[in-house]
Copies of this chain bind each other. A is one copy, B any other.
Amino acid sequence: MSELRGACIIGQSGGPTAVINASAQGAIQAALKADCITRVLGAAHGIKGVLEDKLYDMGKEDPAELDLLQYTPSSALGSCRYKLADPDVDDTDYKRILEIFKKYDVRYFFYNGGNDSMDTCNKISKYMQKVGYECRVMGIPKTIDNDLFGTDHCPGFASAAKYIATSCMEVWQDAHVYDTGMITIIEIMGRHAGWLAGSAALATWAGFGPDLIYLPETDFDLTDFLEDVHRVYDKTGKCMVAVSEGIHRADGTFISEAKTSATDGFGHAQLGGLAAMLADAVKLETGAKVRGIELSLLQRCGAHLDSLTDVEEAKMAGRVAVESAVAGITDKMVAFACTRENGKYECKPNLIPLTDVANTEKKVPREWINAVGNGVEQAFIDYVLPLVQGETTAPKENSLPRFAKLKKVLTTDC
């Protein structure tokens, strides 16, 4: 494969995670090192930054600050939820992207995101091929939801899982101090896949966690749920429940849907308020003191509880994307192929076609959820436990996080 010289663009898309910046760091640092990459550009707010010609010159950043990206949650370059049209229907955006690519001689495009972002990647690559513009396009996975197809897991998931498990263990302690009844309902993110809610089971496995866990992979029945809670509560005077925000009735409607009507840029319903809603129902049913706790944004930005494994893998994913593209590869996403034999965990990068990933959701296997659908099996624990291992040594200033402070010099200002 002949050497391809030119600039690269790195973009972040979709909901942020605690380690999406670690992937950005991995990609940026690898790109800055690559001889054939002439300029490293960061897209402001993902593909929107490309469309609007808002690109940061990453070569102008202080290397020490770039190195702090791995400990900085959320999307340092800015993110977006922007869905590109079908190019056969409306190619306006694609023409504009081509124009910008030509303007900066962009020959490498790295996009870090979830299913929708892989779809974006894929569409751009196909368009560039169609118009004969040589550009290598690589996807870097991320999503706390862990629902990307073709990879053992996604960067961002493990740190969120660790945050959830640790928080559940702590709340368990708090919810067990009085000798009076207490029911706690913890609402966890995950619209269609229960990887995060299921991870609350790590807390139970470690000795202090939810008695009941409900994933969106099974239908949710309020009557069954109230019976479950009542049974546990009658026995112990306490009950701790973890629910996915995406639990739904047999007809597919979300339990929380009545309360919200807003949708995000991709047309997904915005869920929330579920913990409070279930808490009200449980209070009415049991008469017990009930607390609904929504982990909300905290669970996806809690970098202080990052899994070191997650951070290292996230950096690796970014680095491998760049190194692979430089080596001539295109149209792939960096997936993870993992083994967990005899308690030994190994994770290797595995490049899979973007077309395979785009818009496919990976759910928790039904057999990893118990038969009645109110908990997970040991197979789930065996899967997630290696992923949450290790702590970072994130620097602090005055015992508070020291996040990366980027200059974000726009190319138009250079």
Q: Which residues of A contact B (CB under 8 A)?
A: 12, 16, 44-45, 48, 72-75, 78-81, 162, 165-167, 169-171, 173-179, 184, 202-203, 206-208, 262, 273, 276, 289, 291, 293-298, 300-305, 307, 385, 388-391, 396-401, 403, 405
Contacts and interface: CB of A to CB of B under 8 A. Distances in A.
B174 A304 contact: no
Give the most central of A297, A397, A403: most B CB within 10 Å: A297
A293 to B, nearest CB: 5
A280 B123 CA distance: 38
A186 B173 CA distance: 23
A81 B265 CA distance: 48
Give the most central of A295, A304, A403: most B CB within 10 Å: A304
A179 B45 contact: yes
B297 A206 contact: no
A405 to B, nearest CB: 7
A16 B177 contact: yes
A393 B62 CA distance: 31
State how many copies of this chain the complex holds: 2
A268 B295 CA distance: 26
Q: Which 8 A-B pairs have the closest CB atoms?
A: A74-B173, A174-B301, A170-B301, A79-B177, A75-B177, A206-B400, A74-B174, A293-B296
Nearest to A203: B400
Contacts of A171: 297-298, 301
Given A262-B289, A291-B297, A304-B305, A173 B72 contact: yes
A184 B297 CA distance: 10
Nearest to A308: B399
A380 to B, nearest CB: 15
B79 A173 contact: no
A203 to B, nearest CB: 7
A160 B273 CA distance: 24
A397 B73 CA distance: 25
A300 B293 CA distance: 13
A167 to B, nearest CB: 6
A179 B78 contact: yes
Contacts of A174: 16, 73-74, 297, 300-301
Given A169-B401, A206-B400, 4 more contacts: A16-B177, A78-B177, A184-B297, A385-B398
Contacts of A302: 167, 170
A391 B396 contact: yes
A302 to B, nearest CB: 6
Contacts of A297: 171, 174-175, 184, 291, 293
Contact of A178 (B79, B296, B390): B79
Contacts of A79: 177-178
